[in-house]
Structure 1
Amino acid sequence: MSEVLPTLLIIDDEVRSLETLRRILEDDFDVKTASTPDEAEKILQEEWVQIVLCDQRMPDISGVEFLKQVREQWPEVIRMIISGYTDSEDIISAINDAGIYQYITKPWHPDNLILSLKNASRLFALQRQNESLSIELKMIPGQLDRRLADRRQWLRENYRCEDGIVRSSESCMNSVCEKIRTLAPYDVSVLIAGESGTGKELAARALHYNSLRWDKPFVVENCGALPDELLESELFGYKRGAFTGAVEDRIGLFERANGGTVFLDEIGEVSPAFQVKLLRVLQEGEIRPLGSGRTRKVDVRIIAATNKNLEQEVPEGRFREDLYYRLATVSICMPALRDRVEDIPVLARSLLDTAMKELGKEVQGFTDEAIACMQAYHWPGNVRELQNEIRHMLIMAEGESLGADLLTPRVLRAVPESMPAIETLAGLEGTLKERVEALEARILKEALIRHRWNKSRAAKELGLSRVGLRAKLERYGLEKVERLEPGTDKGSSKAAS
């Protein structure tokens, strides 16, 4: 595609001068010429001229006077004068009256003239960009308002009623979600307790987006990740010069969230000294930025979360009693994933859908065998660990479904609860023989899954004959679980994540 050259109009009553200028400039510009102002005006009306180079001394009208007319009708055109006269009055008049970009004197050097005209062309392009940006800037506030409103509405719809928490119809999470819906409209502080990875932040977002503050900011701060000084500056802000490196004023998260909700994660990790400062915010509704002598009022709802037992921390002196009761107007306890076994099929499917979108890889689903192993595992890392496990399975998968052989060893060694023989033998009670048999069954199961139910390979690894392995499988009731058909994952979801 050929480059579009900028259009240059040259006006001079001397034909030889016009031809000379055309010959020198036509490689870099789309040159139009006119020997009279009338011809020039006709060209300006018909062509998209970007630069006008006009001789100062012409019979009927001076260059400055003509360019004054150009300025009135086509103000965006870059106007330049070329003249053999250097009268100061002409120059001043050219600059002031006609808005001349540059006054070029004769004799001129070709290279200097080309450079001046190229600079004029760049100036024209910059003017056009500036006009475009000005229009965009005028439209941006409305566009941003619409985008922000759309985003808030999406968030509200995503967390409305079903809270965005994935669970089955018989889940123990149903009572938790019901409590969230009940609490959300009331402007009270809430303390969310639970192990790491159980979805405390998800519950906090559900509280916010179902509250009357849903259209205001929701900000998050991990209190366990920062020392007191940094945490104070992050939450309360600071004034310039408050400490080394404070080169300008900074607004803290409490002010940024004014009218909305502040979610303080890992609140049990803050020091007793900082707890006092935090208590003032809850009691008085005001903060004082670092380095400032004045307090500022803030209107925020505080939702805190912890994986510690704060009721136990209070009598042991590690957490202030008055702050605890300020935070825990109402408490919510998030159950661990091991207590939500019935949710694992639908939760795993939801996490798989998300992982497939992020990684750009598609599979049909999980096998029953994989689900059974996941339900048997105790998941110390809760939903976060399950999420990582599913991403690992998806990355390593070569087939259309995710089988149990893709699970990591720590999950694979768990005893599937769907197998009655093993469930009976795996209890803590029983004779030595029963406990040894339970361990043997678990080893057999793990070896078979790792070898994708290839009995010859499993027997070889375990030092058994194929006949001996088959006898043990029959004894313990170990049979391969068939793969799930697409879309037949167990359970049903109350909501989408």
Structure 2
Amino acid sequence: MPPPLPPELPSILVVDDEIRSQEALRRTLEEDFEVFTASGADDAIAILEREWIQIVLCDQRMPGSSGVALLRQVRERWPEAVRIIISGYTDSEDIIAGINEAGIYQYLLKPWQPEQLLLALKSAAEMARLHAENQRLTLELRTAAPVLEKQVSHRRASVRQQFALDAVLRAPGSPMNAVCALVKKLAALDIPVLLTGESGTGKELLARALHYDSPRAGEAFVVENCGALPDQLLESELFGHKRGAFTGAFEDRVGLFKQADGGTMLLDEIGETSFAFQVKLLRALQEGEVRPVGAPRPIPVDARVIAATNRDLEAEVRAGRFREDLYYRLAALTIHVPPLRERTMDIPLIAQALVDETQAALGRRFEPLSAEVITCLQAWRWPGNVRELRNEVLRMIALADDERLSAAHLSPRVLRAGDAHEEPALSMLSGLDGDLKTRLEALEARIVKESLIRHRWNKTRAAKELGLSRVGLRSKLARYGLERD
């Protein structure tokens, strides 16, 4: 059971058979301590049984029982109390022999000086406070340990579920199904993997799936963007450094490779590294050890390395910009992540998931995405992939007036679903079949529908934008079957 909270002032029990000594000590201590006095061992024991005493200051020579004998009893029954003995006899063999047995914290000599005595007793009070605090914290941790262990276990399971392959959104027939099947096979194999694909396709998400589906899932997953730092800082980040290794190195730093020891290290944008750094990285991967900057010797590390890049590393090797030996060290097996435009069937799932994620964060509710919105999203080429799709979802949510997310709030380029490098009309015509008349009619139908979507199916505004009367617009709607249910 932990000791009770101490009083506002530290409590001290002065045990001395000489009344004058008791009074002198009381006057010296009463401003900084709550002082109790006793004339002998029996009185002291009685006070200890009813009061919370932090320090026992005891004279050695007393009738009936010596100070060492009393402090021996105190140690057995009240071990948390700090025991100090005071004596005028410097050669007392009893004190010297009893220091360890009675657990005496300090031995003071008479005549004592007030300043020295106060300094010693304040130090003893601080020791008593720290001891009591340590006891309480130990008990709290012991009590909380099962709860904390359960919380950590639940958190780990939640993280594994969040980044498992089942969390990679994909539709039946999606190219991502084959990618995920390959990731599933490779997760259990402790070999390096190279992830390639355009920026924003989800390479880091697949790297996390490789880690959390692997035997290393219980250890750290560490990410470093190799293209974001110059060589010296990147070397320090990955390998660590010793204090004073360079200007600004005020303390030792543990590198990310060491932090990932036993786990997985993702080297993102590996194609952006310099030739000089590639040499150091190759050695670290070959030897299974890293040398912190300024360290006299390397340290071993055991981290699975996954690399990711949006470059064609084979072309970089042929061009002499990437080391061939490092490429083969990183690419035991390569996984290519297809861009979003090659898996349009996944767009509705991903877009709706982004809506659900955002509305949960904002505490708002939105209706499921409409067919109009999905049609527009699937028609766009998404050069920025999932990152660009996320921005479009955020734009719709920011501009929404109610619970319905409207296609009218999409960016003009997404709404038109045109090619960014061609004239919109030419792009739209190139995707149509039939003779010229059929293509022009299909193009007209698209333009009319786009105008209606932009004006949220307000026919008066759409007709005005298109330079038509309401009767003329109604005629075209009937002709092209664009009447909205």
Interval containing the TM-score (normalised by the shorter chain): 0.7 to 0.9
1:459 to 460, 463, 466: 463
> What does the per-residue CA deviation read over 1:95-121, in whole Å, with 9 as the maximum and x for residues that have no partner?
x88769999x9xx9xxxxxxx999998
**Is residue 360 of structure 1 aligned with residue 358 of structure 2?**
no
Between the aligned partners of 1:101 and 1:138, the Cα distance in structure 2 is 35
**Is residue 222 of structure 1 aligned with residue 219 of structure 2?**
no
Between the aligned partners of 2:160 and 2:429, the Cα distance in structure 1 is 46
1:243 Cα deviation after fit: 2.0
Cα separation, partners in 2 of 1:150 and 1:428, compared to 1, 3 Å: closer
Equivalent position amino acid for 2:463 in 1: A
Cα separation, partners in 2 of 1:199 and 1:468, compared to 1, 3 Å: same
Q: Is the 8 A contact 1:369 1:480 kept in 2?
A: no
Equivalent position amino acid for 2:358 in 1: A
1:135 Cα deviation after fit: 4.4
Cα separation, partners in 2 of 1:333 and 1:466, compared to 1, 3 Å: same
2:328 to 314, 325, 328: 325
Between the aligned partners of 1:153 and 1:413, the Cα distance in structure 2 is 43
Equivalent position amino acid for 2:195 in 1: I
1:374 Cα deviation after fit: 1.6
Equivalence map 1:16-415=2 (5 Å): 44-46=48-50, 72-76=76-80, 126-135=130-139, 150-160=154-164, 162-414=165-417
User: Unpaired segments of 5 or more residues in structure 1?
Assistant: 19-25, 109-115, 416-421, 482-497
Between the aligned partners of 1:449 and 1:410, the Cα distance in structure 2 is 14
> What does the per-residue CA deviation read over 1:168-206, in whole Å, with 9 as the maximum and x for residues that have no partner?
223221111111112222232211111111110111122
Equivalent position amino acid for 2:179 in 1: V
User: Equivalent residue of 1:305, what SS?
Assistant: strand
Between the aligned partners of 1:406 and 1:194, the Cα distance in structure 2 is 29
Between the aligned partners of 1:123 and 1:284, the Cα distance in structure 2 is 49
Between the aligned partners of 1:125 and 1:78, the Cα distance in structure 2 is 10
Q: Is the 8 A contact 1:8 1:53 kept in 2?
A: no
Compute the RMSD of aligned alpha carbons: 5.0
Equivalent position amino acid for 1:306 in 2: T
Between the aligned partners of 1:449 and 1:328, the Cα distance in structure 2 is 47
Cα separation, partners in 2 of 1:320 and 1:144, compared to 1, 3 Å: farther
Deviates more, 1:210-219 or 1:61-70: 61-70
1:228 Cα deviation after fit: 1.5
Counterpart position of 1:471 = 475
> What does the per-residue CA deviation read over 1:371-408, in whole Å, with 9 as the maximum and x for residues that have no partner?
22222222221112222332333344342332323333
Q: Is the 8 A contact 1:264 1:302 kept in 2?
A: yes
User: Equivalent residue of 1:225, what SS?
Assistant: coil
> What does the per-residue CA deviation read over 1:423-476, in whole Å, with 9 as the maximum and x for residues that have no partner?
x97434677766665555444333322332222233344443322222232333
Between the aligned partners of 1:281 and 1:54, the Cα distance in structure 2 is 64
Q: Is the 8 A contact 1:218 1:261 kept in 2?
A: yes
Deviates more, 1:467-476 or 1:262-271: 467-476
User: Equivalent residue of 2:318, what SS?
Assistant: coil
Counterpart position of 2:448 = 444
Between the aligned partners of 1:121 and 1:232, the Cα distance in structure 2 is 49
1:150 Cα deviation after fit: 4.9
User: Equivalent residue of 1:366, what SS?
Assistant: coil
Between the aligned partners of 2:105 and 2:297, the Cα distance in structure 1 is 52
> What does the per-residue CA deviation read over 1:57-90, in whole Å, with 9 as the maximum and x for residues that have no partner?
9999999997876565334457899xxxx9798x
Cα separation, partners in 2 of 1:474 and 1:128, compared to 1, 3 Å: farther
Equivalent position amino acid for 2:461 in 1: R
User: Equivalent residue of 2:215, what SS?
Assistant: coil
1:126 Cα deviation after fit: 4.7
> What does the per-residue CA deviation read over 1:255-306, in whole Å, with 9 as the maximum and x for residues that have no partner?
3323332211111111122222223334443433323453444333221111
Between the aligned partners of 1:394 and 1:440, the Cα distance in structure 2 is 30
Q: Is the 8 A contact 2:347 2:377 kept in 1?
A: yes
Between the aligned partners of 2:258 and 2:143, the Cα distance in structure 1 is 28
> What's the TM-score, normalizing by structure 2?
0.73
Between the aligned partners of 2:416 and 2:386, the Cα distance in structure 1 is 19
Q: Is the 8 A contact 2:12 2:33 kept in 1?
A: no
Cα separation, partners in 2 of 1:435 and 1:137, compared to 1, 3 Å: same
Equivalent position amino acid for 1:179 in 2: L
> What's the TM-score, normalizing by structure 1?
0.72
Deviates more, 1:72-81 or 1:32-41: 32-41
Cα separation, partners in 2 of 1:192 and 1:465, compared to 1, 3 Å: same
Between the aligned partners of 2:259 and 2:14, the Cα distance in structure 1 is 60
Between the aligned partners of 1:359 and 1:256, the Cα distance in structure 2 is 34
> What does the per-residue CA deviation read over 1:332-381, in whole Å, with 9 as the maximum and x for residues that have no partner?
11111111111122222222222233223233422222222222222221
Between the aligned partners of 1:214 and 1:182, the Cα distance in structure 2 is 15
User: Equivalent residue of 1:326, what SS?
Assistant: helix
Cα separation, partners in 2 of 1:478 and 1:37, compared to 1, 3 Å: farther
Q: Which has the higher contact order (CA 8 A, sep 6+)?
A: 1
Between the aligned partners of 2:430 and 2:390, the Cα distance in structure 1 is 29
Cα separation, partners in 2 of 1:329 and 1:87, compared to 1, 3 Å: closer
Percent identity between matched residues is 56
1:230 Cα deviation after fit: 1.5
